[in-house]
Structure 1
Amino acid sequence: MPALSELDDFDLCLKKPDAVYCIVDLELLEDDTPLYQFIKNFSSLTYKNYQHSKLHRGVCGSQHCGLNTTHADAGESTSEALRNCLNSSIHQGYGLQVDNLSVRYCKTQDDYIPPDVLDYVVGVLLLALLLVNLGCSAYYFLWPVEKEKANKFMLAFCVQTNWKALKHGGSAEGGIFKCFQALRFYTMVMILGLHSMIFIGYGYTANPEFIENSYDDFFKALLFNARVIVQIFFVMGGFLMAYKMLVYAESHPFTLKTVPMALVNRWLRLMPAVLVVMGLAMTWVPHMGSGPMWDAVVKRERDMCRMNWWQLVILSPNLFPFEHLCLPQACARKLGWLSPWSLDCLLLPQGTAEEMGSKRVNAHETPFPGFNSDRWWNCPNGLGSSPS
């Protein structure tokens, strides 16, 4: 079969000033030849095999197809020239023909996107944040003060105190939730393995047979589908958030205001890191490299983030089509918003532990202060079912 994807050397091609490098997708013409029928049958196993009748090429057009810088616009003339060129080589090598061809983009030596206003604005903000961190860290290092007497806002930007919090923030034994340590470890191992496979989906692979045969291996297939393991993070996060709110309800009134405030608190904790990563992705990261697939992956992510940044700000990007996502690796966020609303059925509104103390007959009737069994049975969508 023809190679599923082939890329000419990008850097070597663009050393010449009049060189043109194009990324194209082409589809083979269906016919009755034995080879095409084999490709058709082989590709019909869509759950494990690539579509081998659809090929991908990175072509140094100036070297192999007679293109020049006038073809850099990837227009009809470029498409026709590349179609004739690739049709000739594929027909000569395999007896197959190209049915249609589309040009994603073409690159030349002079391609350059200058920084715009947004790039400079984000750059200034990130530089200011870096200077604040360095300044606070230097001040704390040169004039150390006790934590109780220090300015808490300054300590928030201090590298030393944040490192101590990260290093000593939890008990080595794990407390009552020590089982979570094992879940976190194994989940992170699977997540790292999963992210190593992302490049297969984003770019081209020189050895598709390895990927296709891997689905017959249980452990490799498990790795390919490891994104399901992400649900463990949601379960742990939702459980811990629910536990924290139940503890809070023992000494504070649990009202309609409590749930929105909990969500706002979580949003404020997540948003700084999200904004920094998103800001870099939509501004300076595209300027940091180049390559045959750079525009298809990095520049596309830049365009998606500039267009759909608000989806990530509301932390619910997976409610929208995947092909339009900004930072697809951050797509699963909305489940974290559900646990507080579920608790509304249990705790709203019952008052503090002192107010509930006179109503508690024994520990078995009320598992925690504020629990309302009548509201539990009335929760919608199967959170509870009537004992009768």
Structure 2
Amino acid sequence: MAVASALFGAVWKCLARWGRSHRLLLTLGVVALLEALRWRSQEENPTFDAYSIITDKEYYAMPQRYELDEYYGCLVRGGVYCFGLFQLEAPPGNELFHMIQLYVLDEYYGCLVHGGVYCFGLFQLVAPPGNELFHMIQLYVLDEYNGCLMRGGVYCFGLFRLEAPPGNELFHMRQLYELDEYYGCLMRDGVYCFGLFRLEAPPGNELFHMMQKYSKDWIWRSNHSLIHRGVCLPRRCPREEHQDLEDHEWFASCVNSSMLSEYNMSAGLTQLEYCTREPQGGRLTAAGAAFLALLAVLVIAVIVSTVLHVRLSHERKKDMGWALSWSVLRSLWTLAKPSPRTEPDLRFLDGLRAISMLVLIGLHAGGLSMLQTADTRFYEQSSLWLLSGNLTLMVQVFFIVSSFLMARKVLQQDFVAAKKTFVETMKDRIVRILPSYAFMILYMVTLNEYNASGPMWHWAIDTEVATCRQQWWTHLLFFNNFNTSLKCIGPTWYLAADMQLYAAGLLLTLLLRGRRAVPVLAVLLATAAVFYVYLAYAWNLVPLYALHFPDNVRDEYVGVSTFDVLYQSPWGNAFAALTGLLLAHAHRTIKTSNYDLRSYKVYRFVARWSVPSILVWVVLWPSVHPQPPHRPTRLRYALLTGLTGPVFCLLVAVIMMEILLGGKKCLRRFLTGNVYSVMARLSLPVLLVHFPIARVQLIAQDRPVHLSSFRLIFNMFGVWAMSYAMAAVLALLVEVPTQRLYRELKTRSRAVKTD
């Protein structure tokens, strides 16, 4: 014992002389050695044979431990749904059964030793009269289950047949999405096909007539005559009956036969997404490996730069600022430092941007959740869907804040030449956005398809990756918002529209600098509002809240005139940008001329009720939409479409002006905080990452889900958390270091010119 203590003391003294990095490497080496010894012992142990780690093909060759058919639709259509536990047996010599036993033995480590069977079930205890222990058990269970097993009763899990009241007919319609088991089908050498079908029925089919009538209100409801089907062909339709058909013909015949036999409806294959014999996605390509290599280079740069930041002296740091650009310590401080106080205090803008981004992320997560819902009534029979569509107005906040901050900065630099101001301002803007933007586009075209797999993966993810590979250059040149086909990272249309409006607004501000800009901007605002109404009338556009109905979300707004002409175009968002410019010029005029805007009763009245007015406008404006079968006139639709955004922007401008003038102190305090500052600094990376995260999270599921409020909220919080976590990584690796490097090189260039 004494020898062991002395040996341990000597080793500890040697370790104490080493640096932290050496001790860390030694620890990792010891862990690796122990792991190798553990695997060596497993190889020598006869219970760990070749089946201890099995391949996908071997795993899915076994009967799955849990296999569930569709539940709600089965029972509502009068079916019988059974659930139970089965014990498998096989004659001697069955290799698959032997593999199952060994695999389960390895998984449970002795629970099923010697080929035993692990069972879970219900037992009823029986005891002779007077057994005090049994009486105690009964009292204990009575207390635990609150009467479930009262008086010696039996708690059972069994089968129930559901009955629905008259008029509950939606479950009799076919679900929009129905998917067979995906991985097990392909691992058993099956053929899996996924596609879109259009249903047709002969005259007199009451169910089909009800589906058409129900789907007539396209703003609220999906088109239930269009259904997506993912089918495992050998399991659903045996090959013997379709010997002479290609896979896609086999798929079309299979779905059509099942619909005819069950509903007396024919199903025509409208769009074949794929027929495959191997899983889609989930494979690392050479391009994906190259992206991982680039990521490794960035991580090494962060480590080296951080070590230099810690080890170098203060004087050396001044000369090597470019080498410290990727220091994680400096980047964290840049993200976490409190926003400086200014006159006027603009910190409330951080809260405004952070809350707007949270709302938009939640809307995107909720909207994508509808792509795989089993019961569409969750959103079709709820007015919250229209409300959520109108909440997309929050994107206008970013245009207002962006143009306001740009105009305010330019007006403060009235002594700088206009040409130099334009060039330097646009250069700073591009350097801030382009590196992170390019990094995400590179990720989309290389690594995104590797993240997961599933029956809807090719339809949703692979298609987006192919679009990014074709249109990447339009994103880097900031005019992808003119794209009317499939999208690459859907929300990035904002970056293009904002860059275009930023340049136009900068030119307009420079032209109006030193002149009476407020009347000119007011006339431009009025002209833009009239122009929106004219566009809506001429193109027969729909209101914003009607734009985001489920089928448009599914099809990524391809061919939707309202989205192309008004929603993502620069002229469709020009009113918000002009509002920010007018706000900056008006505030500067008020401050320089000592004009007391708050002395006017009309302004005070509007300012007092501006916040409630926004809530009323967002919530009640969709209720103006008439219910089917009524339809508003074309002029009324044009007014609904053209005035929704302008009124919202003006109300936001009034709130911002009131806070700038010292009013709404409670709202200012609510919108001011260090947390909001961090979230606002992450606005760009979180805009770039949240949509791919939401798509991967939902599309990777291999079965339609039954949405509920809890599941929807849970999805939103998951996307929020993952988005801000990944946004912080993107900011630390790309956005903050590239901006710091640009500033260092810019400073050195100025110093050289001065010398």
Shorter-chain TM-score range = 0.7 to 0.9
Residue 451 of structure 2 is matched in structure 1 by: 288
Q: What is the correspondence of 1:135-174 to structure 2 with a 5 Å cutoff?
A: 135-143=304-312, 145=314, 149=318, 151-171=320-340
2:247 pairs with 1:78: yes
Cα pair distance change 1:173/1:246, threshold 3 Å:
closer
Residue 39 of structure 1 is matched in structure 2 by: 211
Residue 356 of structure 1 is matched in structure 2 by: none
- How far the C-alpha of 1:117 sits from its partner, in A, is 5.6
CA distance in 2, matches of 1:238, 1:342: 7
SS in 2 for 1:55: strand
SS in 1 for 2:372: coil
Aligned 8 A contact 1:347 1:372 in 2: no
Which of 192, 204, 216 aligns to 1:21? It is: 192
Aligned 8 A contact 1:193 1:223 in 2: no
2:441 pairs with 1:269: no
Cα deviations by residue, 1:129-180 (Å, 9 ceiling, x for unpaired): 2211121112223446479626222232111001011111513899621332
Aligned 8 A contact 2:281 2:457 in 1: no
Residue 62 of structure 1 is matched in structure 2 by: 234
Give the number of the structure with larger relative contact order, counting CA–CA contacts within 8 Å between residues 6 or more apart: 2
2:298 pairs with 1:129: yes
- How far the C-alpha of 1:111 sits from its partner, in A, is 6.0
2:356 pairs with 1:194: no
TM-score normalised by structure 1 residue count:
0.80
Cα deviations by residue, 1:11-58 (Å, 9 ceiling, x for unpaired): 222221x11111121111142211111111111111111110111111
Cα pair distance change 1:47/1:116, threshold 3 Å:
same
- How far the C-alpha of 1:91 sits from its partner, in A, is 2.1
Residue 363 of structure 1 is matched in structure 2 by: none
Residue 354 of structure 1 is matched in structure 2 by: none
Cα pair distance change 1:213/1:146, threshold 3 Å:
farther
2:478 pairs with 1:315: yes
- How far the C-alpha of 1:7 sits from its partner, in A, is 1.0
Residue identity (%): 24
Which of 494, 517, 530 aligns to 1:332? It is: 494
2:524 pairs with 1:382: yes
CA distance in 1, matches of 2:515, 2:525: 13
Aligned 8 A contact 2:406 2:506 in 1: no
SS in 2 for 1:12: helix
Unaligned runs of 5+ in 2: 1-172, 528-755
What amino acid is aligned across from residue 372 of structure 1 in structure 2?
R
CA distance in 2, matches of 1:245, 1:82: 62
Which of 202, 208, 223 aligns to 2:376? It is: 208
Cα pair distance change 1:144/1:169, threshold 3 Å:
farther
SS in 2 for 1:19: coil
Which of 230, 252, 255 aligns to 2:416? It is: 252
Which of 271, 279, 286 aligns to 2:442? It is: 279
330-339 vs 187-196, which moves further: 330-339
SS in 2 for 1:282: helix
- How far the C-alpha of 1:297 sits from its partner, in A, is 1.8
Cα pair distance change 1:346/1:234, threshold 3 Å:
closer
Computing the radius of gyration over CA atoms, which structure comes out larger, 1 or 2? Answer: 2
Unaligned runs of 5+ in 1: 350-369
SS in 2 for 1:149: helix
2:392 pairs with 1:227: yes
CA distance in 2, matches of 1:88, 1:287: 35
- How far the C-alpha of 1:225 sits from its partner, in A, is 3.7
CA distance in 1, matches of 2:331, 2:277: 46
SS in 2 for 1:199: helix
What amino acid is aligned across from residue 327 of structure 1 in structure 2?
I
Aligned 8 A contact 1:24 1:57 in 2: yes
Aligned 8 A contact 2:287 2:447 in 1: no
- How far the C-alpha of 1:281 sits from its partner, in A, is 0.9
What amino acid is aligned across from residue 401 of structure 2 in structure 1?
M
CA distance in 1, matches of 2:316, 2:350: 29
Cα deviations by residue, 1:237-277 (Å, 9 ceiling, x for unpaired): 1111111121222x322x23422432222111111111111
Aligned 8 A contact 2:434 2:476 in 1: yes
Residue 95 of structure 1 is matched in structure 2 by: 264
> Which structure shows the bigger proportion of residues in helix conformation?
2
What amino acid is aligned across from residue 199 of structure 2 in structure 1?
L
Cα pair distance change 1:161/1:212, threshold 3 Å:
same
Cα pair distance change 1:258/1:384, threshold 3 Å:
farther
2:222 pairs with 1:50: yes
TM-score normalised by structure 2 residue count:
0.43
Cα pair distance change 1:247/1:193, threshold 3 Å:
same
Cα deviations by residue, 1:337-374 (Å, 9 ceiling, x for unpaired): 3244334344349xxxxxxxxxxxxxxxxxxxx5123x
- How far the C-alpha of 1:381 sits from its partner, in A, is 7.5
Cα pair distance change 1:348/1:89, threshold 3 Å:
closer
331-340 vs 32-41, which moves further: 331-340
2:404 pairs with 1:239: yes
Cα pair distance change 1:384/1:300, threshold 3 Å:
closer
Cα pair distance change 1:111/1:7, threshold 3 Å:
closer
- How far the C-alpha of 1:124 sits from its partner, in A, is 3.3
Aligned 8 A contact 1:8 1:58 in 2: yes
2:528 pairs with 1:344: no
Aligned 8 A contact 1:83 1:101 in 2: no
Cα deviations by residue, 1:64-85 (Å, 9 ceiling, x for unpaired): 12359x99xxx97223222221
What amino acid is aligned across from residue 221 of structure 1 in structure 2?
L
CA distance in 1, matches of 2:365, 2:297: 33
- How far the C-alpha of 1:328 sits from its partner, in A, is 1.2
SS in 2 for 1:14: helix
What amino acid is aligned across from residue 314 of structure 1 in structure 2?
L
- How far the C-alpha of 1:125 sits from its partner, in A, is 2.9
